[in-house]
Amino acid sequence: MAPTYFSKRNLHFLLHEVFRAEELARYPYFSAHDRETINLALDSATYIADTLMYPYLKDVDRNQPELKNGQVTVHPKIREFLKAMGDAGLIGAGFSFDHGGQQLPEMVSSAITFILMAANNGMMYAGLTSGAAHLITSFGSPALIDSYVPNMLDGTWQGTMALTEPQAGSSLSDVTTSATPLPDGSYKISGQKVFISAGDHDAADNIIHLMLARINGAPSGTKGISLFVVPKHRPDGQGGFVDNDVQSTGVYHKLGQKGVPAMHLTMGSNDNTIGYLLGEPHQGLRYMFQMMNEARIGVGMTAAAIATAAYYAALQYARERPQSRRLNEKNRLDAPQTPIINHPDVRRMLLFQKSVTEGSLSLLLEAARLYDISEAAEGQEKEDAFLLLDLLMPVAKSFPSEMGVQSVSQSLQTFGGYGFTEDFPVEQLYRDIRITPIYEGTTGIQAQDLLGRKITQKGGKGPQLLFAEMSKTIREASTHDELKPYAQQLGTELKRTQDVVESLMPHALNGDTERYLADATLFLELFGIVVVAWQWLKQSVVAKQAMLTQNPQGDELAFYEGKLHTMKFYFHYEVPKTLGLAVRLKDPEVLTIVTEKELAL
């Protein structure tokens, strides 16, 4: 395997030069941190990734979880990994000091996720636990927090999100798992959940499910859903634990991410599953969606990380694999073969991968920065950060996922026939990344969220804030002659995006929601291309300024020049795709909406 699976230099460039993560210390919540503490956390994650994750990438994939006699066994390295994560304080890196965390910014926690998932995304157990524990600390009583969070953050107990049911899927309003109140304030839980990642395994001493259920007599639809803590083993009241009747009734065998069991769980088979209400009744979906931005950044980071690992594998192969001669030397059969990286089409594939992965990472760190500000700031700054984050979230989740799939496909193509074999890791990474457009809301759902809600909410305040930020970058780029054409191009793309929205808006105003959202996924694609173009222009401004003020030499100069070259590639090869998307989005011909005639057939 390639010795490199991510670029530490690029990660530090984005964190410290582009987004200046250490400046978050101006907020009291993050005041304990500076560049040194941030880098220490990144180094801890890199050590775990290098020693406990990356060496076992293939082994974890090929020795997938098994369900035998009601118990799920996973790769033995998983327990060691979870203990190391707990000991290093990385599961709770973003948690408050009061809850045993390090109070690091989400931007840093997201960077840690990026490192770990680039090394081995088949070990994504810790992130699931962190998300579940965060829900408990956000909405749980002190007793619930004390009972569950410490063991979750030290890696002893696993956390999950148990949302999906066989008949419901993404339609959470159709959840039927029931909760019956008991005299002591707890609830009997009965129902089934499916596709529960890390829903049962032997690498943790307990599994703590954050489970959606409907209290008997609750209103129908989303207004009647509550959130419960449902452990695999519940306290017996005497300092021990008893089985909580959460049965593992099946483990799904998946296309990728085979190291993480996706479970079918049945509660109440023996009428003895107990759950503990988290927060207030009937607020479960609101609690879940309040935490959804963090989860969607995590999915986007996982996709960007997988695509990055595939890119570095393809890059090394292209440098080492001799094949044919340069196109202008095809007739010189006595000339030595040249490494395939010297062929223009291979360079195109590699530059596509680099532009997608580094553009995605920049967007995700932008989103994480806004998340931090929306949590730590006050007043108008807090409100504006949340609105901008809310607008960008569908893109931050879907662009790295959808384009990451394409990027890994190009990685595999770079290898040619070898890429389709198990001799190299890209065939596994191609399988692994395919789930990311589905996790935490499919691309179609993200598209409807963007066009149906985020573009129009609060009178379009979100797009106004975004266009103001983009305009600021355009002005900064326009001060450099080399960047001026790209600044102008981004301005043109902003106008094109606005024109598309204006052409679609009459359908929304007329109440024809189906027509308005018919091609929402195409709008999301267009919007994503433009947003990532902004990220590339932002990176290029920083790189250009560094070249002018720091007089970098050698590898440092090559790094900054590479940034400018990749930005140009993205603008010349990817941004023009908005032309075709805009034509389709403004086209009055509708071909995907079912007609009355078709309904009658």
Task: Give the tens place of pLDDT for each residue, 58-69.
Answer: 999 999 999 998
Evaluate whether residue 534 is within a structural domain.
Answer: yes
- DSSP-derived secondary structure for 83-131: HHHHHTT-TTTTS-GGGT-----HHHHHHHHHHHHHHHGGGTHHHHHHH
Evaluate whether residue 345 is within a structural domain.
Answer: no
What rounded mean pLDDT belongs to the chain? 95
Does the pLDDT of residue 599 top 70, yes or no?
no
For residues 237-241, average pLDDT: 89
Evaluate whether residue 477 is within a structural domain.
Answer: yes
pLDDT score at 2 = 63
Evaluate whether residue 312 is within a structural domain.
Answer: no
Write the pLDDT tens digit of every residue in 483-538. Answer: 999 999 999 999 999 999 999 999 999 999 999 999 999 999 999 999 999 999 99
* pLDDT confidence bin for 457, thresholds 50/70/90: very high
Q: What is the spatial distance between Cα 536 and Cα 524, in angstroms, rounded to a whole number?
A: 18
DSSP H or E segment with residue 137: helix 125-139
pLDDT score at 332 = 81
Burial class (CB in 10 A: 0-12, 13-18, 19+), 50: middle
Q: What is the spatial distance between Cα 92 and Cα 66, in angstroms, rounded to a whole number?
A: 29
What is the DSSP code (8-state) at residue 339?
Answer: B
Using CA of residue 292, residue 90, residue 402, residue 491, what is the dihedral sign?
positive
CA angle (380 as vertex; 301, 37 as ends), nearest 5: 45
Q: What are phi and psi of 211, to 5 degrees?
A: -120, 130
- Return the structure tokens found at 187: 């609830």
pLDDT score at 330 = 78
pLDDT score at 548 = 96
Write the pLDDT tens digit of every residue in 388-447. Answer: 999 999 999 999 999 999 999 999 999 999 999 999 999 999 999 999 999 989 999 999
What is the DSSP code (8-state) at residue 25?
Answer: G
Share of the chain above pLDDT 90, in %: 90
Evaluate whether residue 547 is within a structural domain.
Answer: yes
Write the pLDDT tens digit of every residue in 325-336. Answer: 888 887 787 888
Evaluate whether residue 406 is within a structural domain.
Answer: no
Share of the chain above pLDDT 70, in %: 99
Q: What is the spatial distance between Cα 228 and Cα 148, in angstroms, rounded to a whole number?
A: 13
Domain that holds residue 554: 442-588
pLDDT score at 247 = 97
Catalytically annotated residues? 440
Query: pTM to 2 decimals?
Result: 0.96
Considering its fold, how many domains does the chain have in total?
1
Evaluate whether residue 461 is within a structural domain.
Answer: yes
Evaluate whether residue 167 is within a structural domain.
Answer: no
CA angle (566 as vertex; 563, 569 as ends), nearest 5: 155
Write the pLDDT tens digit of every residue in 97-107. Answer: 999 999 999 99
What is the DSSP code (8-state) at residue 501?
Answer: H
- Return the structure tokens found at 108: 């840093």
Give the closest residue to 482 by CA, choosing from 564, 422, 557: 564
- Please, where are the H alpha helices in 162-290? 284-290
